[in-house]
């Protein structure tokens, strides 16, 4: 299938995060995954890392990226580049939901807590 209908992000099982997999392993992809997420004000991803590179494109809201002992703020029309195996966390810090599309250089995407424990993602990637 070459043309996919985008799904609307829906509750993911992680508090404060709505998720939609726009394209991934279920669509036959092996080297790329594309997610759309909305993070409620005050919500956050857990601190984690991936065995692949990640690019996050913010379309709305305000966020903070916690990575490599630094905190970097971002908002609409910004792109975040996260190297493979970098522990990071994205936090929604504005009054409106943080909305972004994330692209990963693997499919399915695997995530781990900073201690190396695997995170069972509640969606198909």
Instruction: Give tens-digit pLDDT for 28-48.
Output: 999 999 999 999 999 999 999
DSSP, collapsed to helix, strand or coil, labels residue 67 as strand
For 45-88, write each residue's pLDDT tens digit. Answer: 999 999 999 999 999 999 999 999 999 999 999 999 999 999 99
Beta strands in the chain (DSSP E): 10-11, 17-23, 33-39, 49-50, 54-60, 63-67, 70-74, 78-82, 88-92, 98-104, 111-112, 118-119
Q: What is the pTM of this model?
A: 0.93
Q: Which CATH code fits 10-111?
A: 2.60.120.10
State the average pLDDT for the chain.
95
Residues in the chain: 125
The domain ranges of the chain are: 10-111
CA-derived radius of gyration, the chain: 14
Band (7; pLDDT cuts 50, 70, 90): confident
CA distance 24 to 21: 7
Residues of the chain with pLDDT > 90: what percent? 91
Residues 6+ apart with CB under 8 A from 63: 39, 73, 74, 75, 90, 91, 92, 93, 94, 98, 100
pLDDT at 125 over 80: no
**3-state class (DSSP) for residue 27:** helix
| Across 90-108, average pLDDT | 97
């Amino acid at each position: 299938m070459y043309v996919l209908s985008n799904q609307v992000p829906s509750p993911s099982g992680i508090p404060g995060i709505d998720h939609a997999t726009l394209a991934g392993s279920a669509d036959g992809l092996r080297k790329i995954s594309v997610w759309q997420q909305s993070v409620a004000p005050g919500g956050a991803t857990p601190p984690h890392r991936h065995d692949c590179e990640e690019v996050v494109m913010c379309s709305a809201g305000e966020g903070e990226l916690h990575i490599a002992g630094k905190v970097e703020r971002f908002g609409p029309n910004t792109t975040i580049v996260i190297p493979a195996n970098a522990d990071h966390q994205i936090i929604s810090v504005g009054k409106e939901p943080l909305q972004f599309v994330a692209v990963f250089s693997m499919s399915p995407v695997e995530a781990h807590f900073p201690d190396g424990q695997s995170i069972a993602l509640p969606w198909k990637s």
